[in-house]
Structure 1
Amino acid sequence: MFLEAIYHSTDSEYCHAIDENTILLRLRAKKGDLSKCVVCYGERYYPRENVLVTPVDMNKVASDSLFDYFEAEITTGFERICYYFILYDGKSSIYYDGSGFHEHPNINRTLYFQIPYIRKEDIADVPEWAKRAIIYQIFPDSFATSKGHISGKSIEVPLREGITVRSKLGGNLRGIIENLPYIEELGVNCIYLTPIFTANSYHKYDTVDYYSVDPCFGDNDTLKELVSKCHESGIKVILDGVFNHSGADFFAFRDVLEKGEKSRYKDWFFIDDFPVRYDDNPNYKCFAYVKFMPKLNTGNPEVIEYFTKVGTYWIKEADIDGWRLDVANEIDHNFWRAFRKAVRSVKPDAFLLGEIWHDAREWLQGDQFDSAMNYMLTYACIDFFVKRNINVEQFDARIQNLRMRYKKDIQYAQMNLLDSHDVSRFLSLAGGDVRVLKLATLFMMTHVGIPNIFYGDEKGIEGITEDEYRRPMMWEDTERSKDIFNYYRKLISIRKKYMDVMLGNYVTREVDILKNVYVYSREAGGKKLYIVINNSEHPVRVDVKVGDSVSNVTELLHDRVYPVTDSKVSLELDAISGAILEV
C-alpha cells in the first residue's frame, strides 16, 4: 500500500457540508492501489470512551493519471462529527485518521479527523439557478446596433473635462434588446455582458465612471429595460465588474495626477513615488503594464467601501443577477469576502463568477466566489479535440482531475468555455473544421458545470487575433451558419430537458485509445444519458454497454431508436462525431 499517496483534508474539497445534515467526504490514493475504502464516523461528544461509529463504503468516483478518488455522502443527525478511514489493498488493511496510519483504530477520538460543528454559514451557497444556467456571453460593441444588424461604425462621445469615450463597431444595449428573440430562440437562459460602464476604450475595461452606462452603449434606463425584458423571458443578466484597476480618467486617479502627494486618493492606488509619471514607463502599478489602467489598492477600506457600493447599486438600480469579476486573482481575499457579503445582503441568490485562469481553490471555498472561468477545461479541450496531442485516456484523466478540484456544489457551477473575448475562437484553432467545434461543444454541453457560448460561436464566427475574434456578429446567415446554429440549439434543448441528469453523477464508461472513443454517462434519479464521442478521423463502430433493463434506447441528437442486444447498443459513428443515448 502506497501510504505516501493517500491524502485527506478537512474543510476542503475533501470534506465539506452539502447541507446541514449531509457531509461529502473524499479520499485520494495511488491509482489502482486500494481495493476498498471505508469511512467510519461517529458523534464527537459520544458519552462513552469508545465512540460508536457507523461504517460506510466509499465509491471510487474518479481516476486521473496518478490517483484514484473515493467518495461518500454521509447523512446524519450529528452536528459534531469525528471519523477515520479503513483502507484495503487486497492483501492488508490499515487505519487512517488525523494523526496518521495505524494497525488498529485509535481509542482517542481527538486524533480522528474532525468536523467541529456543521455551520450553515460555512456551507458553499451556490444559487440554484446558476447551476442550471446556460450562458451567452456578449461583447456589446460587437453584437448589434439594431434588430439583425450591426453598423460597424465607431462612435466618439466627448464628456466633461476633456474626457472622450469611444466604441469601435457600433454595438449597443438597444441592439441586444431588439435581438432578444434571437437569444430566446437559441435557448440560453443567462446573458453575461462584458463591461458596459463609461470608459475610454471600445472594450470598456478602463472604467471612467462605475455608476453610468457608457453613452456609446445607451444609458442607465436602457440597461434597466434590457434586464427587465430579459427577466420577462426567463433570462438572467450578469455584468462585468472591473475592480482590479480603473481607467486613467477615473475621478480618483485624475485627482492623483492633478494634486500628486496631496491628493486624498493617493492611497487608492500603488504609487511608487511622486510626482506621478503618466507615460509608457509609469511609476505606479497597473494592469499588466498598461499606463491607462492604474491598479486599485483594494486593501484600502475606502476602496472596499466604494466598490461594494458599486456592486450593490446595480442590483438595486437595475436588478442584475450577478457579477463576473475581472482579474479576480490579483485582488485580496478580504475584498472579495466583503463584496460577497454586501451583494448577497441585497440579493441572496446573486451569482459571483471570478476570472481566474488557473487553479481557483483559494477563491472557491464558499466565502468569495460561486464559480470561476474554467480555462483549464478549455485547454484540455484544445489539446484533445484540436491539437490531438493527448489521447482519450489522458483527456479523461485531466477531466477527472478537474472534477475533483472543488467542492461539489462549486464544481457544478464552474463556467465551462471553449473560447471568450480574450482568446482565439475555437473554430479557428480547429482550422475551420465545424465537426471539431460540434464535437467539443457536445462535450461542453454534457459536462459538469455551466456551459458558456461566446456570441457568434453558434454561427461559426472565426478569429485568431483580437480584432478577428471580437469581429461583428454575423446577422446574415449562410447554410453553414444555419447548420451550426441548429446544432447548438439542439444541444441546449437537450441540456435543459435533462437538467436534473446534468446535475447528477459523471461516470466514465469506456476509454478506447485505439479508436480514440470516449464514453461517459450522466446519471441522476434512475435516469441515464450516455454520451459517445468519436474523436478519430475514421468512422467507428461502438458497442455501448447500457445494461439489460431496457430493450431499446433513443439517440437524442438525431431522434433515432436503437435496439439493445445482449445489454449493448451498436452505433456506427462518422469520423469526429458523437451521440447522446437516453437509457
Structure 2
Amino acid sequence: MEAKIGYQIFPDRFYSYYHRGNTDWNTPITNDFNSGKRLYGGDLKGIEEKVSYLKELNIDFLYLTPIFESNSNHRYDAKTYFKIDPVLGDEIDLKNLIDTLHNNNIELCLDIALNHMSNESDWFKNALKNKKEKDFFRQENGNFTYWRDHKSLVELNLENKELQNLLWQDENSAMKKWTKLGVDHWRLDCAYDLGFDILKDIVIHLKSLGNHEIIGEVWAYPKDWIQIMDGIMNYYYTVIIKNMLNGTLKPITASQILKKVIFDSGMKLLKSWNMLSSHDSPRIKNVFGKKWKLAVVMQFTLPGSPLIYYGEEIGMEGDHDPFCRGVMEWEKVDKDNETLNFYKKLINLFKNSEALKKGKYYEVIANDDNILAYYRKYKSIKDGNLIVINPSNEDKEIQLYFEESLLLDAMHLSDHFSDNELYIEMGSIKGKIPANSFGIFYMKPKEYETYSAYKRL
C-alpha cells in the first residue's frame, strides 16, 4: 500500500476553453444570493489544456468535484448522473481528458453525491406527480426529506433496489458507465449519510470492475470508515493541525492523539486524503497565516495521501465559501514563486521517499511539551525521516527519544530544508529548532572519509 499526491480542482474555476459561463473570468468573487449560480466557464477541455502543468507539478491523481448536469456551479445538486453538464463539455471531452491524464501517468477521481440530488431533476418532478420515481426519494411521515433541510437537495431512498441498480449495481449504472469510460477512482460526497451497508455494497460493485479506490467524505474518526472504503478525506488530521498551530492544542497532546488515531486505523490511512483546505473551507494561508509551511509539512509527512487544493501551490488566498472558490491565478505560475518552489521541493521529497509513501509512523517523545516530533521509516534508516515542528515563538533546545535501534552515537541528522543539523547522543537526538519552524531530518550519509558506522547494518 502506498500513499499518492492528489490535486483537487473545482472545475468551474480552473481554466476555460469554451467560454460557456455566464460570468466574465476576471469578475471578483462576491457573496450574495446568486453566488452559487455564477458560472465562470471552467471546463473539461480547459483542464486537459493544463495537464502539462499538473505533470510538471508531479501529482499522482486528479480529483474533480462533480461534473454532472445540475443547477449550480458546485454541482452537488445533480439533475442526472448520466450526463455531463454541457457548460463543462460532453463525454468526448471527458474521455479526452482521461486519455491525456493517463498518458501522463495521472489517475482521475470523480466526485458523486448519492445521498441527494436536485429538486429540479426529472426523477423528482415525476415523484411529485406520484409516478414510480416517488419511491426513489426518502420520506418521513409522508414528507420528503432534504439534506440539512436545503429544499434544493432532496434525499434519495438508497434502499430502493431499482435505484441501486440505476446508480451503481447494474452494468449500465451511472457509476459503472463512467468507470468503464476510464474513471479510475471515486470520491463519495457525504459518505457518512450513506451508512455502512450502502457503502459496502458500492465498494463491492465498483471493485468488480478492477482496482478502483473509493474515498469517502467523512468528518469523523477514521477507524470504522476505512475498514469499508479505501480511505476517507481525513479531516480528523485537519482539526489536530489547525488547533495545534493556533495554540489551542498543546503539541504533546497532539502527539498523543495522532499516535492513537494512526494505531487504531492502521496503514490503510495511507490511502486517505490529508486535507488542509477545500472548496468547503478557507484556504491554507487564510487559516494558518505565517505558520502555513508548518501545516503543509504535516500534511505531507503524516501517514496519508496529501491533497493539494488548486491554487494553494501558488499561494492563492480566499476566505470561507464562496471566496475559497476563486479562479485559478495562472499569472502566479512563475519560477520565482516562493510558494510554488516550496511545494515542488516537498512534492519531490515525498515522491522519492519510501518512508513517506509507505512507512510506518513512530511516536517521538520530546523533552519539551511544545515540540511535536514523529518519525517515518519504511525499511532502511537511510530513508527514514524525522519530522520536528516547533509552533512556539521561542527557539528550543530539544532532546528526542523514539524506537530506532540504529541511531548510533556521534552521528548527525541533516534537514532537507535548511542547514540545521541534529546530533545523536546515546540513542537520543539533541539539537536546536528555531521558533515557528520545522525540520525534516534524514541520516547524514557520511561523517568520515573512510569510516562508516553503518558498513554492516
Does residue 236 (structure 1) correspond to residue 107 (structure 2)? The answer is yes
Q: Which amino acid aligns with 1:517?
A: I
Match of 1:136 in 2: 7
Following the alignment from structure 1 to structure 2, what is the Cα–Cα distance between the partners of residues 145 and 353? 28
Choose 1 or 2 for highest CA Rg. Answer: 1
Cα distance, 1:426 vs. partner?
Answer: 2.8
Cα distance, 1:538 vs. partner?
Answer: 2.6
Following the alignment from structure 1 to structure 2, what is the Cα–Cα distance between the partners of residues 579 and 447? 14
Does residue 153 (structure 1) correspond to residue 9 (structure 2)? The answer is no
CA deviations over 1:100-138 (Å, ceiling 9, x no partner): xxxxxxxxxxxxxxxxxxxxxxxxxxxx4xx32111111
Following the alignment from structure 2 to structure 1, what is the Cα–Cα distance between the partners of residues 385 and 138? 53
Match of 1:329 in 2: 192
Match of 1:359 in 2: 221
Cα distance, 1:541 vs. partner?
Answer: 4.0
Q: 1:310 to 1:548 in 2, by over 3 A?
A: same
Cα distance, 1:379 vs. partner?
Answer: 0.6
Does residue 182 (structure 1) correspond to residue 57 (structure 2)? The answer is no
User: Where do 1:532-551 residues align within 5 Å?
Assistant: 532-542=388-398, 547-548=407-408, 551=411
Q: 1:556 to 1:326 in 2, by over 3 A?
A: same
Q: Which has the higher helix share?
A: 2
Following the alignment from structure 2 to structure 1, what is the Cα–Cα distance between the partners of residues 273 and 180? 25
Following the alignment from structure 2 to structure 1, what is the Cα–Cα distance between the partners of residues 257 and 225? 21
Task: Select 1:507's aligned residue among 362, 370, 379.
Answer: 362
User: Where do 1:108-119 residues align within 5 Å?
Assistant: none
Match of 2:28 in 1: none
Q: Number of residues paired by the alignment? A: 420
User: 5+ unaligned residues in a row in structure 2: which ranges?
Assistant: 26-35, 444-457
Following the alignment from structure 1 to structure 2, what is the Cα–Cα distance between the partners of residues 418 and 242? 21
Asked if the contact 1:186–1:485 (Cα under 8 Å) also holds between the matched residues in 2, the reply is no
Cα distance, 1:237 vs. partner?
Answer: 0.7
Q: 1:479 to 1:493 in 2, by over 3 A?
A: closer
Match of 1:573 in 2: 433
Asked if the contact 1:146–1:179 (Cα under 8 Å) also holds between the matched residues in 2, the reply is no
Following the alignment from structure 2 to structure 1, what is the Cα–Cα distance between the partners of residues 108 and 148? 29
SS at match of 1:209: coil
Following the alignment from structure 2 to structure 1, what is the Cα–Cα distance between the partners of residues 153 and 78? 8
Q: Determine which structure has greater relative contact order: mean sequence separation of CA pairs < 8 Å that are 6+ residues apart, divided by chain length.
A: 2
Q: Which amino acid aligns with 1:524?
A: Y
Cα distance, 1:474 vs. partner?
Answer: 1.7
Following the alignment from structure 1 to structure 2, what is the Cα–Cα distance between the partners of residues 240 and 481? 34
Cα distance, 1:372 vs. partner?
Answer: 1.1
CA deviations over 1:462-481 (Å, ceiling 9, x no partner): 22221111111121128898
Asked if the contact 1:239–1:324 (Cα under 8 Å) also holds between the matched residues in 2, the reply is yes
User: Where do 1:558-569 residues align within 5 Å?
Assistant: 558=418, 560=419, 562=421, 564=423, 566=425
SS at match of 1:207: coil
Following the alignment from structure 1 to structure 2, what is the Cα–Cα distance between the partners of residues 396 and 312? 41
Does residue 313 (structure 1) correspond to residue 177 (structure 2)? The answer is yes
Q: 1:478 to 1:212 in 2, by over 3 A?
A: closer
User: Where do 1:114-513 residues align within 5 Å?
Assistant: 128=1, 131-146=2-17, 153=24, 168-257=39-128, 259-260=129-130, 263-271=131-139, 283-308=143-168, 309-317=173-181, 319-347=182-210, 349-365=211-227, 368-385=228-245, 387-406=246-265, 408-430=266-288, 432-433=289-290, 436-477=291-332, 482-513=337-368
Following the alignment from structure 1 to structure 2, what is the Cα–Cα distance between the partners of residues 458 and 289? 35
- Provide runs of 4+ in structure 1 moved above 6 Å: 478-481
Cα distance, 1:542 vs. partner?
Answer: 3.7
Q: 1:501 to 1:363 in 2, by over 3 A?
A: closer
Asked if the contact 1:145–1:151 (Cα under 8 Å) also holds between the matched residues in 2, the reply is no
Cα distance, 1:167 vs. partner?
Answer: 5.0
CA deviations over 1:154-192 (Å, ceiling 9, x no partner): 8xxxxxxxxxx9652221112211111221222211111
Following the alignment from structure 1 to structure 2, what is the Cα–Cα distance between the partners of residues 538 and 480? 33
Match of 1:160 in 2: none
Following the alignment from structure 1 to structure 2, what is the Cα–Cα distance between the partners of residues 532 and 480? 28
Q: Which has the higher strand share?
A: 1
Following the alignment from structure 1 to structure 2, what is the Cα–Cα distance between the partners of residues 569 and 397? 20
SS at match of 1:294: strand
Q: 1:294 to 1:566 in 2, by over 3 A?
A: closer
Q: Which amino acid aligns with 1:394?
A: T
With the length of structure 2 as denominator, give the TM-score of the two structures.
0.85
SS at match of 2:237: helix
Cα distance, 1:210 vs. partner?
Answer: 0.9
With the length of structure 1 as denominator, give the TM-score of the two structures.
0.67
Q: 1:245 to 1:458 in 2, by over 3 A?
A: same
Q: Which amino acid aligns with 1:267?
A: D
Q: Percent identity?
A: 28
Q: Which amino acid aligns with 2:312?
A: D
SS at match of 1:136: strand
Cα distance, 1:196 vs. partner?
Answer: 0.6
SS at match of 2:153: coil
Following the alignment from structure 1 to structure 2, what is the Cα–Cα distance between the partners of residues 207 and 439? 38
User: Where do 1:10-29 residues align within 5 Å?
Assistant: none
Q: Which amino acid aligns with 2:269?
A: Q
Match of 2:30 in 1: none
SS at match of 1:390: coil
Following the alignment from structure 1 to structure 2, what is the Cα–Cα distance between the partners of residues 253 and 273? 18
Q: Which amino acid aligns with 2:391?
A: N
